[in-house]
Structure 1
């Protein structure tokens, strides 16, 4: 999967360590656990799909989603992050679009859901720009926003 020099590659023996060394900016550190936690989580919950985000052939980010239906009858994005040195270049948006296309390939996929802290303005702006809508769903300290997968998205996959 590739958009504008951004590519998603499943986490594997060649890229897992690079994913673990990525860092977000200081103001984002309270919003995300280290990528190593997510990679370990995916080894015990095999429905979780972890991917390295590559930009021009270099690992610059990490994302993970669940491939089974969960709360709110949707497929949840568990993590998306871009290293602090590569933020602001549209990489996160391109990677999220690729992830949406990947989830849309799941036969019964109709909704994608992501939770994030309301103070995480970068996440808010990203998801809003991609058509995620806040219907007021809350899970603890996080808000959950929803994107409906329409037939146009499914036809591009």
Structure 2
């Protein structure tokens, strides 16, 4: 079986409308910010100096979205947010493949990065298993939204 690689592209004027078509199952919508919210965060930058939105693509199809909130040139302030896989691509191992690609992308684009962080809703056990399966460790701490903080040490 041939494995297709995942491409990661910044959200631009050429693909933002396609990005808005990424959707989750109704019971998942409360677990992650919408693509629209993620794009608003990129404009407003509510947390850090930089926030870059990205789409995930495979075989020419956009299937996912995430943003990276970070402080440029830092070693430990890189936060993956809004990671979502379109409902038509779920249940195929794409979450694991996508998160692995995102981690690789961050390490390549931000060579000083040593710690990648993310948060997850307390009741999102599927995402928590995904994160721990890729060596993220729960800090047993929560953010101001009562989401659990996970960190991954890289390099």
TM-score, structure 1 length as denominator? 0.84
Secondary structure of the corresponding residue to residue 64 of structure 1 = strand
Q: Is 1:146 equivalent to 2:116 in the alignment?
A: no
| Matched pairs, number | 146
Distance 1:144 1:35 in 2: 21
Which of 89, 99, 120 is the aligned partner of 2:92?
A: 89
Distance 1:118 1:107 in 2: 31
Q: Which residue of 2 aligns with 1:154?
A: none
Question: RMSD of the TM alignment (CA)?
Answer: 2.0
Distance 2:33 2:79 in 1: 16
Which of 126, 129, 143 is the aligned partner of 1:125?
A: 129
Q: Which residue of 2 aligns with 1:13?
A: 13
Structure 1 segments, 4+ long, off by >6 Å, are none
Distance 1:147 1:10 in 2: 23
TM-score, structure 2 length as denominator? 0.85
Structure 2 runs not aligned, ≥5 long: none
Superposition pairs of residues 88-107 of structure 1, within 5 angstroms: 88-105=91-108, 106-107=110-111
In the alignment, is the contact (CA less than 8 A) between 1:4 and 1:94 conserved in 2? no
